[in-house]
Structure 1
Amino acid sequence: MCISLLSNTQIPATLPAHIQVEKKMAQRLGRFRSYTSQPSKAYFSGPKQGNAYKALLLDAGGTLLQMVQPVEETYAIVGSKHGVKASPSEIKKGFKKAFAEPWPERLRYQGDGRPFWRHIVAQATGCASNDYFEELYKHFSQGDAWKLPVGAYEVLSHLRDAGVKLAVVSNFDTRLRPILEDMDVAKLFNAIIISSEVGFEKPAPQIFQVALDQLNVAASKTVHIGDDQQADKIGAGALGIDSWLWGKDVHTFKEILHRILGSDVN
């Protein structure tokens, strides 16, 4: 049975403490740009030609991993068994609003991420039923809930064979690694960097530095692709990593292949 929305708690409209500290340190050192400032045109460099990139970093949700079914439809279908009355359009609106709110803890995705996702589900649907939440949580824990973009597997295989190092860099909970394994794609990556495991979330530069360290590549030889301007493009750019926005700068994995390997593509 669905319990009505459990919380009207106002989440502080401030950056998490660790981001504030990192921001102050970065400003003192003059090494990184503010997470909230708008970058100049010189901040991002364009694509490099002739296989100048030695490594590719990929965001997971929304970039490498696409939902088989829109989240609002899944929430509504599963919710119909638990007394949820909200329509998919209402759920979509509530989901976006809840997801955009600041989270008061240091990390959104701590461990399995249940506290954060429980809040999102309740706020998006108005239903705080534990049975409902757990059914949704289990659904999105399985590879069948996700799909790769067209051509992604083949392009990643080609890049790996060409000597390009590959890594996932994602704000995600501990379900990500099993999901990638379930989809038979984890084996393509030299490193999988997950915020819940390393203790930093994008746009913090530390999570990108972990990827560079594990791949043993320089930022200048690396490109990152994600779907979020703040977390992905500005976050990667703070370390001097070139970045392309999925759906704006690049639209297909075939395009990614050509932009990285250039004339080397057969």
Structure 2
Amino acid sequence: MPAAAAAAARGPLLHLRRTPPPPPPRRSFSSSGMRCVSAAAGAGGGGRERRSSPAFGGLLLDAGGTLLQLARPVAQTYASLGRRYGMSKSEESIKEGFKRAFSAPWPKTLRYQGDGRPFWRIVVAEATECTNNDYFEEVYEYYAHGDAWRLPAGAYETLRDLKDAGVKLAVVSNFDTRLRKLLKDLHVSDMFDAIVVSSEVGHEKPAPEIFKRALDQIGVEASKAVHVGDDETADKAGANAIGLECWLWGQDVRTFSEIQDRILTRFPQ
């Protein structure tokens, strides 16, 4: 600790008539411990200052698959909820059906219009071969609550520290109207300076409009922000198209601590 180092440097007072040595460097830290200022006074007052400063002024985050992780696999949830409705497909078959339905071309402009029910109804039916409306509603409501989701390790702490460092934060997500409630349930909604949801703004990634909307709301230029998402096309290609750097979750960055380390970098002032 800087204070401890300073204390250790002070030995017993000797009553000698000599010029005292220059004072030790003074250091101050923010609450995050990441931003520090260190100044050393030279004999001629020509000390240099090093300041920790964010490498980016804004961070945009994808929601599903990046900031929001499933508490348990989709196939497991679909199977367990489906037993009461006579659905007996294996989890492996459900998993394959889900992937097939989710990746199929969508004929409309947006997958998620309003609450997203039309899209999700097709996905659930394709994955499970169960068209019981009560079953669908139970599945849909299950994912409308924070208990169905979790934050990656260190996400909350990273968001807090980046915010303390002055980095503007935004969610940019292809999602339906359940997203805002989910972020509140997981206690991160208030962390963000902007939450931009495709079903609300009428554009979904990789369309440039959704990224531009987020940047406008946080007041940061594309060249001074970075986006983190898990999709090569929707996230990386979409962001890069407007000059916005993108780190793919699971490839370029694997933890929120790594995101924090890459944004909060030190350089000479």
TM range (shorter): 0.7 to 0.9
Q: CA deviation at 1:237?
A: 0.5
C-alpha separation between the residues in 1 aligned to 2:181 and 2:54? 31
2:86 corresponds to 1:83: yes
Q: Which residue of 2 aligns with 1:93?
A: 96
Q: Kindly report which structure 2 residues correspond to 1:164-203, keeping only aligned pairs within 5 A, or say none.
A: 164-203=167-206
C-alpha separation between the residues in 2 aligned to 1:257 and 1:185? 16
Q: Is the 8 A contact 2:223 2:243 kept in 1?
A: yes
Q: Which residue of 2 aligns with 1:222?
A: 225
2:157 corresponds to 1:154: yes
2:241 corresponds to 1:242: no
Tell me which of 144, 149, 153 is aligned to 2:147: 144
Ranges in structure 2 where 5+ consecutive residues have no aligned partner: 1-51
Which gives a bigger RCO, structure 1 or 2 (Cα 8 Å, sep 6+)? Answer: 1
TM-score (structure 1 length as normaliser): 0.80
Secondary structure, in 3 states, of the residue corresponding to 1:135?
A: helix
Look up the equivalent residue of 1:192 and give its one-letter code: I
C-alpha separation between the residues in 2 aligned to 1:149 and 1:90? 27
C-alpha separation between the residues in 1 aligned to 2:53 and 2:86? 56
Tell me which of 89, 105, 108 is aligned to 2:108: 105
Q: CA deviation at 1:199?
A: 0.2
Tell me which of 54, 75, 79 is aligned to 2:57: 54
Look up the equivalent residue of 1:159 and give its one-letter code: L
Q: CA-to-partner distance for each residue in 1:124-173, whole Å, 9 max, x for gaps? A: 11011100000000000000100000000000000000000000000000
> What's the C-alpha RMSD, in Å, of the aligned pairs?
1.1
Q: Is the 8 A contact 2:55 2:262 kept in 1?
A: no
Secondary structure, in 3 states, of the residue corresponding to 2:264?
A: helix
Look up the equivalent residue of 1:148 and give its one-letter code: L
Q: Which residue of 2 aligns with 1:135?
A: 138
C-alpha separation between the residues in 1 aligned to 2:56 and 2:200? 26
Q: CA-to-partner distance for each residue in 1:216-252, whole Å, 9 max, x for gaps? A: 1100000000000000000000100000000000000
TM-score (structure 2 length as normaliser): 0.79
C-alpha separation between the residues in 1 aligned to 2:54 and 2:161? 13
Q: CA deviation at 1:50?
A: 5.2
2:232 corresponds to 1:232: no
Structure number having the greater strand percentage = 2
C-alpha separation between the residues in 2 aligned to 1:50 and 1:142? 37
C-alpha separation between the residues in 2 aligned to 1:80 and 1:192? 36
C-alpha separation between the residues in 1 aligned to 2:220 and 2:157? 23
Look up the equivalent residue of 2:152 and give its one-letter code: P
Q: CA deviation at 1:52?
A: 2.4
Percentage of pairs with the same residue: 62
Q: CA deviation at 1:83?
A: 1.1
C-alpha separation between the residues in 2 aligned to 1:230 and 1:56? 19
Number of positions where the alignment pairs a residue of Structure 1 with one of Structure 2: 216
Secondary structure, in 3 states, of the residue corresponding to 1:92?
A: helix
Where does structure 1 differ by over 3 angstroms across 4 or more consecutive aligned residues? none
Q: CA deviation at 1:67?
A: 0.4
Tell me which of 126, 146, 161 is aligned to 2:129: 126
